[in-house]
């Protein structure tokens, strides 16, 4: 089961989270691989999209936003667009559009930023919108403040957080075809009601970006986590090995899950919109009507019996085959 663990470092202005997407992540990959048109993601794309999914879950849990958080990368390489979307209850989905040969080498430059035209967008779309209210969106290029290309999803989002939130953030991410995982360490503001270290000039200096000694020390420990450790060790082991000298307050784990808005019923209504004559013509050319979700890739099949049921009155309908692949 997928898990997300939140924790605070006692007496320090630093919070953290650790996420391990297991069943939620493999369901995303299973649906994509089951689509005969697209097939499975190339491994490099799989790894990048998994890191995006893990990071999106961490960010959504971090901000407690009543609405969807959407992380997008628009690329000028073999990956045209990659998207991870997370709801307030940590229901998530992710997809990528691959338009060209994918190199064996991994990294943002090779996949989405070959011509320096790639960009990252984070959109916050409130569940309950006021009249005329638009979703909030922040967009940044895939290069740092010095103009150097950002090489990883983690570096991209650290830069985004520094630019948009003015908060020091460390993100360690990793993914393969079985798990997508991430560790987030973030400095909390030291001034105001949540001040953890007192008042005065020292606190003010420590509150400047990059100046907090406690955060810098914990960030170094977090960055020592190796990719293989993040992918294979359980949450308790990771936190104990990294932060065994620190006292932490840990909270009950949350459980991210996969969820897509597609369903057989929605696809059926779409087929009904084509009209019975057009559907019958399609069935004359092939044995089934096949429709794939543009987001998750799951393919829905309607044989002649299923299709006929769509155009019967409710009292006339009989159980059909209900094929979903």
The domain defined by 3-258 carries CATH number 3.30.230.10: no
pLDDT in tens, 181-238: 999 999 987 643 443 334 444 444 445 555 688 899 999 999 999 999 999 999 999 9
Residues in the chain: 325
Three-state secondary structure call for residue 4? strand
What average pLDDT does the structure give for the chain? 87
Which residue, among 57, 5, 63, 58, has the nearest Cα to 28 in the 3D structure?
A: 57
Q: Which CATH class is domain 264-324?
A: alpha beta
User: What is the reported pLDDT for 319?
Assistant: 53
The three-point CA angle 170-171-175 to 5° equals 165
**C-beta of residue 12 within 8 angstroms of C-beta of residue 216:** no
- Give one DSSP letter per residue of 137-165, joined into a string: EEEEESB-TTSPBP-SHHHHHHHHHHHHT
- Return the domain boundaries, the chain: 3-258, 264-324
- Give the pLDDT of residue 2: 96
Q: Beginning with the edge strand found earlier in the chain, give each strand of the sheet holding 299-302 in spatial order.
A: 289-292, 299-302, 323-324
- State the pLDDT at residue 27: 97
Distance of alpha carbon 122 from the chain centroid: 11
Q: Which residues, at least 6 apart from 79, have a Cβ–Cβ distance to it below 8 Å? A: 45, 48, 73, 96, 97, 98, 99, 102, 111, 112
Same CATH fold assignment for domains 3-258 and 264-324: no
User: What is the enclosing helix (H) or strand (E) of 184?
Assistant: strand 180-187
Per-residue pLDDT of the chain (325 residues; tens, 9 = 90+): 999 999 999 999 999 999 999 999 999 999 999 998 889 999 999 999 999 999 999 999 998 788 999 999 999 999 999 999 999 999 999 999 999 888 877 789 899 998 888 999 999 999 888 888 888 988 989 998 888 899 999 999 999 988 877 789 999 999 999 999 999 999 987 643 443 334 444 444 445 555 688 899 999 999 999 999 999 999 999 999 999 989 999 999 999 999 999 989 998 888 888 888 888 888 888 888 888 888 898 988 888 888 888 888 665 455 555 556 5
Widest distance between CA atoms in the chain: 80
Residue 85 CA to chain centroid, in angstroms?
A: 6
Beta-strand pair 91-98/257-258: parallel
- Residue 297: the pLDDT is 87
**Which pLDDT score is estimated for 284?**
84
Percent of the chain with pLDDT over 70: 89
């Amino acid at each position: 089961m997928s898990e997300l663990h939140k924790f605070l470092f006692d007496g320090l202005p630093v919070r953290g989270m650790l996420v391990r997407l297991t069943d939620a992540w493999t369901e995303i990959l299973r649906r994509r691989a089951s689509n005969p048109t697209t097939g499975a993601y190339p491994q490099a794309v799989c790894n990048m999209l998994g890191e995006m999914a893990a990071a999106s879950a961490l960010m959504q849990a971090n901000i407690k936003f009543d609405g969807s958080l959407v992380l997008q990368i628009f690329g000028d390489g073999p990956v045209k667009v990659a998207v991870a979307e997370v709801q307030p209850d940590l229901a998530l989905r992710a997809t990528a559009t691959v338009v060209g040969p994918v190199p064996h080498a991994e990294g943002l430059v090779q996949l989405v930023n070959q011509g320096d035209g790639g960009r990252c967008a984070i959109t916050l779309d409130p569940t309950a919108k006021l009249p005329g209210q638009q979703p909030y969106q922040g967009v940044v290029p895939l290069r740092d403040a010095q103009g150097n290309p950002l090489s990883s999803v983690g570096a991209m989002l650290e830069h985004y957080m520094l630019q948009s939130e003015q908060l020091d953030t460390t993100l360690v991410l990793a993914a393969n075809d079985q798990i997508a995982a991430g560790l987030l360490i973030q400095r909390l503001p030291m001034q105001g009601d949540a001040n953890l270290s007192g008042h005065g000039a020292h606190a003010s200096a420590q509150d400047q970006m990059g100046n907090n000694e406690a955060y810098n020390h914990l960030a170094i420990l977090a960055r020592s986590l190796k990719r293989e450790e993040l992918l294979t060790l359980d949450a308790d082991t990771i936190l104990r090995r990294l932060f065994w000298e620190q006292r932490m307050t840990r909270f009950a784990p949350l459980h991210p899950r996969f969820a897509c808005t597609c369903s057989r019923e929605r696809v059926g209504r779409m087929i009904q919109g084509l009209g019975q004559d057009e559907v019958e013509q399609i069935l004359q050319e092939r044995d089934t009507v096949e429709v794939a979700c543009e987001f998750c890739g799951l393919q829905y099949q309607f044989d002649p019996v299923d299709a006929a049921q769509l155009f019967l009155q409710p009292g006339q309908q009989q159980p059909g085959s209900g094929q979903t692949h």
